[in-house]
């Protein structure tokens, strides 16, 4: 069994190819059971174990099976460790033999950004050139690179509640040749943006519907709990709604779960998920002036697709 580090994941993947791999996975017969969620009692507080399995269907020419194992230990901060850790176990789908243990944290940021990029292929205007990135955490660089691989971005405004963090990340990405600059005025940046991506843990909406210009695409990646929210009710009213999976997005992420609970929307207001977009069952964006919103909470099919691509590029060597 091969051990694949974060650095090796980075060498194996690129944004465009991973988006292609996700598109193919959403078109294929992949089995995705409900995510397993277990509470783990610890002396320093309750921890969490998450298991996210998926496997290719019986007709797959090259079958694979995999599970992402994620732990959330809030007490790790006192130990100088990240509170969230993960490993992806990729197995041979024909025999069950272990193939690789892949850095799950790195795999997650890559596949999450690729899912947003895949959605943007269908939902962002082809000529989208101005982007706002709200949040400068671990996901931000991957989201910016992923969107830049899909649309002709000439300006990326990076905002963070701590401006110094935005400045540091912007400098690093600008050194890569990306057109990224730090900003402190989120409203002004959003008003001029063709793509508005957000990856924060905000409990209160950051993006206002009144700020969105006609034709904008909103990419909601953070706010993964029902109590969290990055967009206000006006965004939901103005936008055509899409998600990665209805089962997850309508229950787990506050951007859709809260409007659903309040009666602002019904489940049928979500026009399509990534399965339907990838398979051509829905056309995606239907006019230049349409405002679109994509809500992502993550799904095991994305992890499996990313792990398979890593294995094909470096694991099998």
Q: Give the pTM.
A: 0.94
With respect to CATH, is domain 109-299 assigned 3.50.50.60?
no
Give residue 244's pLDDT. 97
Q: Is the pLDDT of residue 264 over 80?
A: yes
Q: What is the pLDDT of residues 141-180, one digit of tens each?
A: 999 999 999 999 999 999 999 999 999 999 999 999 999 9
Q: Backbone phi, then psi, for 207, in 5-degree steps?
A: -100, 125
| 157/180 Cα distance (integer angstroms) | 6
pLDDT > 70: percent of the chain: 99
Q: Is the pLDDT of residue 91 over 90?
A: yes
Give residue 12's pLDDT. 97
Would you kindly state where each structural domain of the chain is located, as residue ranges?
2-107+301-315, 109-299
pLDDT > 90: percent of the chain: 85
Q: Is the pLDDT of residue 215 over 80?
A: yes
Q: What is the pLDDT of residues 70-80, one digit of tens each?
A: 998 878 878 88
Which architecture characterizes domain 2-107+301-315 according to CATH? 2-Layer Sandwich (3.30)
Give residue 316's pLDDT. 63
């Amino acid at each position: 069994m091969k051990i694949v580090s974060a650095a090796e994941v980075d060498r194996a993947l690129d944004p465009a190819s991973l988006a292609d791999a996700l598109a193919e996975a959403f078109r294929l017969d992949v089995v995705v059971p409900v995510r397993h969620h277990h509470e783990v009692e610890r002396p320093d507080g309750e921890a969490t174990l998450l298991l996210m399995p998926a496997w290719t269907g019986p007709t797959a020419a090259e079958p694979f099976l995999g599970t992402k194992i994620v732990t959330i230990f809030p007490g790790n901060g006192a130990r100088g460790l990240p509170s969230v850790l993960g490993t992806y176990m990729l197995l041979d789908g024909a025999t069950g033999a272990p193939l690789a243990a892949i850095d799950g944290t790195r795999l997650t940021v890559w596949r999450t950004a690729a899912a947003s990029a895949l959605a943007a292929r269908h939902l962002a205007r082809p000529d989208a050139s101005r982007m706002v990135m709200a949040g400068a955490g671990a996901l931000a660089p991957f989201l910016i690179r992923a969107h830049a691989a899909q649309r002709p971005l000439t300006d990326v405004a990076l905002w963070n509640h701590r401006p110094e963090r935005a400045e540091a990340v912007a400098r690093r990405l600008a050194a890569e040749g990306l057109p990224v600059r730090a900003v402190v005025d989120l409203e002004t940046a959003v008003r001029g943006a063709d793509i508005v991506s957000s990856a924060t843990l905000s409990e209160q909406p950051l993006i206002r519907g009144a700020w969105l210009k006609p034709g904008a695409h909103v990419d909601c990646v953070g706010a993964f709990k029902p109590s969290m929210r990055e967009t206000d009710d006006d965004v939901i009213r103005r936008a055509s709604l899409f998600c990665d999976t209805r089962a997850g997005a309508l229950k787990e992420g506050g951007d859709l779960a809260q409007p659903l609970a309040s009666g602002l929307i019904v489940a049928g207001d979500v026009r399509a998920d990534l399965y339907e977009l990838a398979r051509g069952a829905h056309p995606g964006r239907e006019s230049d002036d349409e405002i679109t919103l994509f809500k992502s909470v993550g799904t095991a099919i994305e992890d499996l697709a990313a792990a398979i691509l890593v294995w094909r590029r470096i694991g099998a060597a």
